[in-house]
Amino acid sequence: MNKEITFEDLGFRDYKEVWEYQEERFQEILDIKIQNRRTGSSLPTPNYFLFVEHPHVYTLGKSGDVTNLLVSEQQLSQRGATFYKINRGGDITYHGPGQVVGYPILDLDNFFTDIHKYLRFLEEMVILTLADYGLEATRSKGETGVWLDVGTSKARKICAMGVRASRWVTMHGFALNVNTDLSYFDLMIPCGIQDKGVTSLSRELGRHVPMSEVKTRLKAHFSKLFEVGASEEQAPQ
């Protein structure tokens, strides 16, 4: 099993461009697994973790309802935003400046073959990161992502999640609101959940939070949870 991970910070990139890049990495891992199965070989499969920040974009998962987008694509365009239907689970999600987006592209055969455990570990990574800032975040029963004040009238989501997996290879991931312009969430029903709000790390702390600092903390918690053997850093291309 290869528990080494290549971390890549892609900087500020268009959603479709990064989606295609994810697909290339995803297919690379699948091709090696298929070759190993056909030939009886045991070539190691790589693992990647992409950090990125996107321009304003709304994405709708396979199980999503387009009516959860409350404006037309023309109105989105007027706000400088785009819209894509994509191949992950979940409903509608917003990505934009000030948000740390992470796409782990892992061969779970290198770690554990349990997609529910994988999602819980991603949530735990974010929960531990928020705890570093003095925030008590939790899960919300029956809902993905990470939340604050669950079970109260002030319940609000700070991190969305949606993944795709095939042959135990993952793609897509999480979006943590750090310094996000939350007004863009008013244009949709976040993840199809009508009775809860959204928030950001900067709103909760009352100050701007360095994105690089958050990514460093996320990476550290991820590496510990997944028992990463070694890691390699790649700068933005």
Average pLDDT estimate for 135-164: 92
| Structure-block tokens of residue 1 | 């099993």
192: its two tokens: 């199809």
The domain locations on the chain are 5-234
Are the C-beta atoms of residues 137 and 126 closer than 8 Å to each other?
Answer: yes
- Strand-strand pairing, 169-177 and 143-148: unpaired
Rounded to the nearest 10°, the torsion over CA 10, 76, 91, 137 is 60
Closest CA to 52 of 90, 16, 20, 8: 8
Between CA 139 and CA 20 the distance in angstroms is 30
Residue 103, pLDDT above cutoff 80: yes
> 5-234 in CATH: which number?
3.30.930.10
- pLDDT of 135 > 80? The answer is yes
Question: What is the pLDDT, as a whole number, of residue 187?
Answer: 87
Provide the pLDDT for residue 88: 74
Determine the pLDDT at residue 75. 87
Q: What is the mean pLDDT of residues 56-64?
A: 84
| Cα(178)–Cα(48) distance, integer angstroms | 22
Residue 224's identity, in one-letter code, is K
The average pLDDT across 11-19 equals: 94
- pLDDT tens for 179-234 read 999 999 988 876 555 567 899 999 999 999 999 999 999 999 999 999 997 677 76
Amino acid letter for position 190: P
Pairwise CA distance, residues 224 & 75, whole Å: 43
| Cα distance between residue 96 and residue 198, in whole Å | 14
32 versus 236: the higher-pLDDT residue is 32
What integer is the mean pLDDT of 8-12? 95
Between CA 156 and CA 168 the distance in angstroms is 31
CA 200 – CA 135 distance, rounded (Å): 11
| Alpha carbons 128 and 218: distance in angstroms, whole number | 8
What pLDDT is stored for residue 172 in this prediction?
Answer: 93
**67 confidence band (pLDDT: 50, 70, 90):** confident
Token pair in block for residue 125: 């990574």
DSSP H or E stretch at residue 223? helix 211-225
Which DSSP letter does residue 206 get?
T
What amino acid positions are annotated as catalytic residues? 191
Sequence-ordered alpha helix ranges (H) in 156-207: 201-205
